[in-house]
Amino acid sequence: MLSIEEALKIILEQTPHLAEEEIALVGAAGRVLRRNAVSDLDLPPFDRARMDGYALRAADTEGATADHPARVRAIGEAAAGHAFDGEVGAGKAVRIMTGAPVPAGADAVQKIEVVRVLDDGWVEIGEAVKPGQFITPRGIEARAGEVMVAAGERITPSVAAVLASFGCARVIVSRRPRLALLSTGTELVEVGDKPGPSQIRNSNTYSLGGYAREAGAEIVSASLVRDDFDATREAIAEVLQEADVVMLSGGVSMGDYDLVKPVLRDLGAEVRVEKVAMHPGKPTVFALLGEKVIFGLPGNPVSVAVSFHLFARPALLKMQGASQIQLPRIHAYLTRPVKGAPPRRSHQPARLVISNGRAEAEPLKWSGSSDLVAFMRADALIIVPEDRPGLDEGELVEVIMLSK
């Protein structure tokens, strides 16, 4: 049996990189950038007013107060998208709007709230300003030629805004992994069907599909297959035609009808991982068939989720060239004791709460690895080390944050 680290190492070493493609920035959300994005200009591109008010020379307002305002003469206007062309000399000011370039000669902006506009073209400044006040200097946010977003970063909404600011109308990203989901189990019926005696509804497709999409995959098919050698063989062979990754659930443990591994071997796939020293999720299978990646995840809904997050998610992200492929881990105080599963490393579903400013992990009450109802509330997994029969209340423990 492999340790989690050994299994993950094998998986990451063997998953191929997908090709790149050029796409429009509109619609690139969630994709992994494959080239550094470099700024083509300073940001802001000019000294920019941060307030509506008057641009002037700070020295002209020295000592100004509401009772003894400084008087300056208004000589023009600057608005966003429309600069004032002249220069602001001593004793002069320019009415300025937020986002406008600060005119030459001015070294500060005073906000309109403390300005009194007189009828004859003069304005009274009721509060002194310091040089630089209410000005965002050119280039403070970014310099032309700087790498703004590195290859390997995912395009989140705020990353997309940065790319847009630097003119990246088209971006080179990884192709999305084409994923086929195949749920094995004679007992399974589809969501729209009423299960008969000894049947259950297929739920894994919905959790796996959502997690995988969140990790950048495109679901090309989602189907059910009964526990029959030929049917399973045919179903896998068919979905392999259009998928980069096949993700099976169920049929990987030791039962008489657990046919995934024999079928994969029969198809000529190399099974590289078949058991991992973890709980839940021990019967996790990873196989390769040429360039195609196949995951055989356990059938139980909690096991499938744990196994996905530990192995399949990093593999999907690695295929896309992502630099951040692991879920974040933090430390949190345990609110109740939990049991371990030596010699396997255990993962206990938990809710994270911030209490008195510290992170606490509250283990969920779950009845076992089929308990998808309890798992619905999990936002983290408490790691119980492989050599610990349990963890104590109040202990500072490591937790993996789940994607929800």
Contact call for residues 38 and 148 (beta carbons, < 8 A): yes
The binding site for Mg ion (CB under 5 A) comprises 185, 250-251, 299
Q: Which is nearer to Mg ion, 134 or 295 (CB)?
A: 295
Nearest 5°: the CA angle 366, 388, 313 is 60
Q: Which does 101 bind (CB under 5 to 8 A by kind): ligand AMP, Mg ion, none?
A: none
Q: Which does 42 bind (CB under 5 to 8 A by kind): Mg ion, ligand AMP, none?
A: none
Contact call for residues 324 and 315 (beta carbons, < 8 A): no
Residue 223 interacting with ligand AMP (CB under 6 A): no
Residues 6+ apart with CB under 8 A from 174: 17, 18, 19, 20, 21, 31, 32, 34, 216, 319, 320, 321, 322
Least distance to Mg ion, CB of residue 298, Å? 9
Residue 69 interacting with ligand AMP (CB under 6 A): no
Q: Which does 203 bind (CB under 5 to 8 A by kind): ligand AMP, Mg ion, none?
A: ligand AMP
Residue 285's closest CA among 300, 302, 273? 273
Question: Please, which residues bridge with residue 264 across strands?
Answer: none
Q: How many chain residues are in contact with ligand AMP, going by CB under 6 A?
A: 20
Q: Which is nearer to ligand AMP, 204 or 320 (CB)?
A: 204
Which residue's C-beta sits nearest to ligand AMP?
Answer: 299
Distances in Å between the Cα of 99 and the Cα atoms of 2, 57, 354 are 59, 19, 39
| Site map (CB under 6 A) of ligand AMP, residues 165-184, x = contact | ------------------x-
Segment interacting with ligand AMP, rule: CB under 6 A, options 124-132, 235-243, 294-302, 391-399: 294-302
Q: Which does 253 bind (CB under 5 to 8 A by kind): ligand AMP, Mg ion, none?
A: ligand AMP
Residue 287's closest CA among 302, 304, 303, 268? 268
Least distance to ligand AMP, CB of residue 200, Å? 5
Residue 251 interacting with ligand AMP (CB under 6 A): yes
Q: Which is nearer to Mg ion, 177 or 250 (CB)?
A: 250
- 6 token code pair: 């050994």
Least distance to ligand AMP, CB of residue 314, Å? 22
Least distance to Mg ion, CB of residue 184, Å? 6
Of 44, 53, 299, 349, the one binding ligand AMP by CB under 6 A: 299
Q: Which helix (H) or strand (E) holds 373?
A: helix 372-375
> For the chain, what is the largest distance between any 2 Cα atoms, rounded to a whole number of angstroms?
96
Residue 288's closest CA among 11, 2, 6? 11
Give the position of tokens 């060239």: 321
- The CA distance from 240 to 29, in Å, is 27
Residue 195 interacting with ligand AMP (CB under 6 A): no
Of 250, 280, 314, 349, the one binding ligand AMP by CB under 6 A: 250
Least distance to Mg ion, CB of residue 239, Å? 18
- The CA distance from 61 to 115, in Å, is 11
> Which residue ranges make up the site for ligand AMP (CB under 6 A)?
183, 185, 187-188, 200, 202-204, 249-253, 255, 258, 298-301, 370
